[in-house]
Chains A and B, each alone.
Chain A
Amino acid sequence: MEETHVGISVEVNGRPHRSTVEPRTLLVDYLRDDLGLTGTHIGCDTGQCGACTVIVDGQSVKSCMVLAVQADGAHVRTVEGLAQDGRYHAVQQGFWEKHGLQCGFCTPGFMMQSVQILEDNPDPSDQEIRDALEGNLCRCTGYQNIVEAVKAAGATIRSGAETMALGTGVGA
């Protein structure tokens, strides 16, 4: 079987990786199984749920719809790479403060898509947010607090305010 494997090099969250994969390996399986980055989840087998959303070269994609070999030479950003310099990303903070997650299984995908939404437009309306989340499914929240979370994150980004440090408690 070895002769069918292909070499790829991918930068994930700023770190370079060289790997050999079967051509049929999906990017999501490569991230989870080969690199151990299990924050990216799998919720379906038809490209519907968005739990696997990551950002490849600045564009959010469903990593179950991309082969690992297609990411050769690309920069990939996953949920593990959202927090920077010991601080939460504004989107993470928004989801935390607005109770934008319950079981948390869909959350990494929603957050990566939300990063994309706010990069495209840091001040979206409720309906724009709902429409832009078309490719992500959540079974727990009914979406209302996810919309609030994205709005809160947009406000944080627009204000340039510092986000919470990792390790911050609930403060109560």
Chain B
Amino acid sequence: MAVATPTRAFGASIRRREDPRLITGRGKFTDDIHLANAATAMFVRSPHGHARIVSIDTSAASAHPGVLGVYTFENVKGFISGMPCAWPTTNTGDTLKLATYPPLADGKVRYFGEAVALVVAVDPNTAADAVDLVHVDYDPLPAVINNEAAVAPGAPLIHDSAPGNQAFRWSLVGGDTNGALAHADVRISQTLVNQRLIATPLETRCAVADYNPASGEVTVWVTSQNPHIHRLLIALSTGIPEHKIRVIAGDVGGGFGAKIPYYAGEALCIFASKELGVPVRWSESRSENYVATAHGRDHIQHIEVGATKEGKITALKVTAYASLGAYPSTAAPGVPTWLFGCIIQGPYDIPNNEVHVIGVYTNTTPTDAYRGAGRPEATYMLERVIDLVAAKVGRDPVEVRRLNFVKKDQFPFKVANGTLTYDSGDYELALDQALHTVDYTHLRAWQEEQRAAGKLVGIGFSSYVEICGLGPSSAANAMGFAGGLYDSATIRVHPTGKVTVFTGVHSHGQGHETSFAQIVARDLGLKVDDVDVIHGDTDKVQHGMGTYGSRSAAVGGGALHMAGMKIRAKAQKIAAHLLEVAEEDIEWVDDAFRVKGSPDKAKTIPDCAFAAYMAGNLPAGVTPVLEEQHWYDPENFVFPFGTHICVVEVDRETGETHIKRYVAIDDCGEIINPMLRDGQVHGGIAQGIAQALWEEAVYDENGQLLSGSLMDYAIPKASVMPHLELGHTVTPSPHNPLGVKGIGEAGTIASTPAVVNAVMDALSPLGIHHIDMPLRPAKVWAAIDAASH
């Protein structure tokens, strides 16, 4: 049979296979699921940050025409009494206090927007009317918003089960930090606030539940990054047997971490569908999303640094107050602890460091992972520290980075606290490429000229390493994560040689339907157009852990490659049999098994698949069909890294920051599709710049969310984003089957400190060394004004 031309799919910037449906309006997002006879659910939400519920009167709402049911905690608790926390973080001694997280408020509301009652009606307008008819009598209580105030003596108590509002105390220690601090040439103390953010995927959360009373089966369409985790948590929290639950996360309009958690909204749609015998749909409004969907970040960090007079950091001590919000969300306790503390020394060789994290409850929306999750908090802290040290010892921040970097020949590199071993890296290579791209020497000369002309211009750096490819299950278990972090792939080669792939990770913008097809196309010698990738449906796909922590390419892709190798191994036996030679006498070249020495004698995967399905002429011991599955549990995390450089001008009159240039050099190991990689970096940088300059979830002292809509919460528009200049170095992961490392979070992690460092560099002639984010014009202007008086 003729042999196809070799595929060059892997590593090529091919356009995406998911796009035709999305650009023609034929995507299937959860809110697009319209089932016959479906009822609409809506929630009555708390107008108070903290209050006792005196009474709830549902009678008027229940009597309203078209209302099918009105429910409070008392009605639903028999179905679900609490939202499970899947990451009861370890290393907390006996301090961990996981407060009960009721699906509807149980006697008390603890944050603005907490759901108090559920209304189900025949249509959205009727449901909205009925929400207004539920009368709740509240007795307001004092609220506490600030993380340190929450654990101060006399603070209002949020949960009786968590005295002092403390959720946990967590520590990691490496070396002798106090000793090194005592002997340091220079010491710096600084407090940094990593503000609260709202993920804001353009699609809010939605759920549609369809319970079948005859079979006891339920199908739930839900906006999820990890449908199998949702299925498991639904089963554990409601008692519906896991095999009776089908979770479908079809097209999902962005996640950024906020669609990892399991929320009451989807659970209560299942409850109502079971109760009423009709499908029930629920779709968040944006204002509702801003109070009901997990927020991110929200750290206050106190830092002490010791360094030599050359700027070599000898000691780093961090005490962080991290808010979980009012209740412990699905993965919340792991984010400010393990995902933050392990990577506390970043790309630097800091032999003595310790980190202490105090998890606190406040009267705010629960927090959870937000793009980067823990690693941006560490990177921002460390990159600010490097610049503060550089200023203190009077050296160029580039040289201080270089001095402190883990060097190329130190890999694999074990961090001081012993938790991580960085797999591979060449941090100076990325730094040098970034410096070369901006022409650093000339850039500094230009800055001098501009400064001489009275302009406030600054150059900011950020070098980072992140923990990606989450992760070895043994590590996940040791950290208290209630699940393994392997992933899965099934490759089904059809009789005609076309392929369907089932992956346990989930795509909600990342483009796996394309990049994963590229992996399989290379491994099996096929065209990308011949490979379909299925994800997001627990009835179709074998168990999998979903997408977060930049794990899809590394873990899901790794599983896929291993499954592809199993296909190849079986097909090789068939090919040898068909070619009537010994297995050792054929080899895989480009896209087919070829007889050594006579490469024209060849069999492709489609040839072998056809024989495997005909099944009458197979070698002894080879079973029919060509389908393989692999479960890949990585031996280590992967550690992407890079350096970003930002050039800004700050308007002296207005305090406004203009980004003049932005260069990002990232190393994510092997690159499957450069165009998709760049897209991930673009979007990540936009979110990171936004944290530096604009975004902040703001509460007043009573716990009202003041930034509760897109009018008040400033996500970037096209007109404020600079043109981004991207580049890369390639340092493959030595242990990942594909050599890949992950790129989904790099842009967000790196860009925030690059921008803030640039602004601080711009303001340094005025004697300003730190301003907390976001660097909005009014705040910067006030600092400039104060410095000039």
Contacts and interface: CB of A to CB of B under 8 A. Distances in A.
Interface of A: 1, 22, 24-25, 29, 32-33, 36-46, 48-49, 51, 78-80, 82-83, 88, 92, 95-97, 99, 101-108, 111, 126-127, 129-131, 133-134, 136-147, 166, 169-172
Given A41-B29, A105-B253, A172 B529 contact: yes
Given A41-B203, A99-B16, A143-B721, A92 B24 contact: yes
Given A103-B253, A169-B529, A140 B34 contact: no
B25 A37 contact: yes
A36 to B, nearest CB: 7
B7 A172 contact: yes
B737 to A, nearest CB: 22
Contacts of B417: none
16 contacts: A38-B25, A38-B34, A43-B286, A79-B25, A96-B23, A104-B23, A105-B27, A107-B23, A133-B718, A139-B256, A140-B683, A141-B679, A142-B684, A143-B716, A144-B724, A172-B521
A96 B16 contact: yes
Given A43-B286, A46-B710, A88-B23, A172 B9 contact: yes
A145 to B, nearest CB: 6
A49 B25 contact: no
Nearest to B684: A142
The 3 closest A-B pairs by CB, nearest first: A39-B25, A105-B253, A104-B22
Contacts of B620: none
Interface string B199-220: 0111110000000000000000
A99 B675 contact: yes
B15 interface: yes
Contacts of B514: 170
B528 A142 contact: no
Of the four ranges (under 10, 10 to 19, 20 to 34, 35 or more), the interface on chain B belongs to 35 or more
Interface centre among B7, B25, B204, B528 (most CB of A within 10 A): B25
Given A46-B709, A144-B682, A170-B16, A79 B125 contact: no
A46 B511 CA distance: 30
B719 A45 contact: no
B590 to A, nearest CB: 15
Contacts of A103: 201-203, 251-254, 508-509
B682 A38 contact: no
A97 B15 contact: yes
B202 A39 contact: no
B718 A145 contact: no
A146 B683 contact: no
B686 interface: yes
B636 to A, nearest CB: 28
A166 B25 CA distance: 13
Contact of B202 (A43, A78, A83, A130): A43
B32 interface: yes
Interface string B178-216: 000000000000000000000011111000000000000
Given A130-B718, A139-B254, A140-B683, A102 B15 contact: no
B285 interface: yes
Contacts of A40: 25
B656 interface: no
A83 B18 CA distance: 17
B24 A45 contact: no
B260 interface: no
